[in-house]
Amino acid sequence: MVQKPKSINLLIPQYADSSLVLKSNHGIPFKSSVLKTPTPLDGSINKSHFEPGNYGSPSILQARLFTNARKGLKPQVSNHKNVKYDGTPTPGIPWVSPMSATPLKDISRTSLGVLPDNDLHHGQFDSDLPEMEQNGFAEQLQSRGPLYSHKVTANVIAMSGGHCGFPSDSAQVSGKRIHPERSDDGLRRMTYGDDAIDIGSSGREKGFTADDGIVNGGPRWRSDESSDEEDEHNLERAVKGASYRTPRRGIRRSSCKMRIVSSPFLLAEPLIKCGFLAGLHFCSMSSNSVSVLLSSFSLACVEYGFFYLVNHGVEEELLARVFEESRKFFSLPLAAKMNLLRKEHRGYTPLYAENLDPSSSSKGDSKESFYIGPLEKSCLNQWPSQVLLAREFQNFSLLGDPPWSLTIAKLCELGHFEEQIFGASAHSDYGMITLLVTDGVPGLQVCREKFKDPQTWENVFHMNGAFIVNIGDMMERWTNCLFRSTLHRVMPTGQERYSLAFFLDPNTECIVQCLGSCCSESRPQRFPPIRSGDYLKERLMLTYGS
């Protein structure tokens, strides 16, 4: 039976052009954008909670970009695009007819950017959204039950003589090699086309002290809702083991008070050099304010479609055991794994069986996967043995009866550099939302502007204990592209790489159609309604070629 979506309130942030300026003792003003009050769509705004510079909670880390225009650094120009759905296949997103994008009116989408006159603006593309949310999906999820799908993946691409790009002195971006330059202000820049991302040197390198308000080469804002110790503890937990330095960013907290946090980011120099750094948001589940939490989620979904989730409550030991089981599974003889060949999207998919970018001419992705779905009665899951894998995943039955699946993968050694082969080729996820954990081996990249040509890819680095969360295509359709389903891929690294992905999809019967709050006369519906199950089926057919 086809279920009609019901109404919910969805917090959608709106943006303002105001900005705060923080002055360091180097006399360099750093500017950060400031969010206007996130507005619940029923129109009620609690202004006492959200003021400029008063956004988030001590446990919510909102990473923002900073610029330093006075020093002559090239501003990151606002990526304002008029995206036309004219039937042209999107790179990495195969044309799925008749369920994918339809030729509708032009929609402009402005993303975060730093404008040349020292102002850092947020896009205002949603200011025309209607105030009332009529067509929600959360309630539907609760009543119908979404689909869960788990995937454990290991990418193995061993390069002999080839240049993998990790870590290296230069980065391979869109087929071009990018060389980092050090400018006379000591900042490292990597430029590609019209974009520039500044990667600041650490405070220590630049001779800053903690009193300078510089953390990681960039200033932060915070409030004093929690103790300094608690805050630093949370932050350090979140980034413990991080092997990179964040780009300049601010952390907006719940009062305007600025404080200094000693930087827990100790970054390996070679990794800084190896490419763009994705300035992803952090969201923390430990916030005691649901509205703040939702605002931070929706902001991350609007701006990037990718974010780190920390303090999520899933024990590291459990994840470690899952990775251990994955390794055991993939080291089984091929024949044993082939006995579990994928059926009903559960089971084993061998090397090159998946091609996440069917528009490419690649022979497939260099990964093995194993999918597990929900543990309903007529269990379609295939287990290698009563203990291997199965034991670790029994807990997922707590999620209820909607279908889900798990994938694990094993490395294959490639004797030579094969440019066309990715661990996972460029794609956006099909469903609603994905939670990803990796074993720490690098390789994941995101392309924030998927319609841009050429594409710019940024490295997403591993953070111990954090989930990487990303929006899927059906969520993008639901929100009429307000939430971004961001293109991503996994580059070959020359190392074994294991990952665990949890895909949350709408129930198969659910009709995914534009939420009332996400379309208006000036922002017309961009996709026709689709039945979730049909859409997933078609996307999977394209991925597997059958």
Ligand X SMILES: O=C(O)CCC(=O)C(=O)O
Residues in contact with ligand X by the rule CB under 6 A: 151, 153, 424, 429, 436, 438, 444, 488, 490, 499, 501
CB 223 within 8 A of CB 289: no
Residue number with CB closer to ligand X (202 or 532) = 532
436 binds, among Fe ion, ligand X, none (CB under 5 to 8 A by kind): ligand X
299 binds, among Fe ion, ligand X, none (CB under 5 to 8 A by kind): none
Task: Give the type of residue at 37.
Answer: T
Q: How far apart are CA 360 and CA 315, in angstroms?
A: 38
CB 433 within 8 A of CB 473: no
Instruction: State residue 465 phi and psi, 5-degree precision.
Output: 85, -15
Using CB under 5 A, which of the segments 27-35, 323-331, 429-437, 473-481 binds Fe ion?
429-437
CB of 477 to ligand X, least distance (A): 17
* Residues in region 490-529 near Fe ion by CB under 5 A: none
Using CB under 5 A, which of the segments 31-39, 150-158, 426-434, 459-467 binds Fe ion?
426-434
H or E, element range at 530 = strand 530-531
Q: Does 429 bind Fe ion (CB under 5 A)?
A: yes
DSSP conformation letters of 77-134: ---EEEE--SSPPBTTB---TTTS------EEEE--EE-TTS-EE---TTTT--S---
CB of 468 to Fe ion, least distance (A): 10
Q: What would the two tokens of residue 526 be?
A: 């961009």
Peptide bond into 454 cis (omega under 30): yes
Residue number with CB closer to ligand X (493 or 507) = 493
Residue number with CB closer to ligand X (122 or 497) = 497
Compute how many residues bind Fe ion; rule: CB under 5 A: 1
CB of 49 to Fe ion, least distance (A): 34
Q: Does 198 bind Fe ion (CB under 5 A)?
A: no
Spell out a b/e string for 374-400, using b for 16 or more CB atoms within 10 Å of the CB, else e.
bbeeeebbbbbeeeebbebbeebeebe
Residue number with CB closer to ligand X (218 or 442) = 442
153 binds, among ligand X, Fe ion, none (CB under 5 to 8 A by kind): ligand X
Using CB under 5 A, which of the segments 160-168, 265-273, 308-316, 428-436 binds Fe ion?
428-436
Using CB under 5 A, which of the segments 293-301, 339-347, 422-430, 442-450 binds Fe ion?
422-430
Residue number with CB closer to Fe ion (156 or 514) = 156
What is the CB-side half-sphere exposure of residue 466 using CA atoms within 13 A? 29
CB of 356 to Fe ion, least distance (A): 7
Residue number with CB closer to Fe ion (429 or 476) = 429
485 binds, among Fe ion, ligand X, none (CB under 5 to 8 A by kind): none
Report the candidate in 308, 300, 307 with the shortest Cα–Cα distance to residue 482: 300
Q: What would the two tokens of residue 28 be?
A: 């360099």
Report the candidate in 466, 517, 423, 475 with the shortest Cα–Cα distance to residue 237: 466
Q: Which residues bind Fe ion (CB under 5 A)?
A: 429
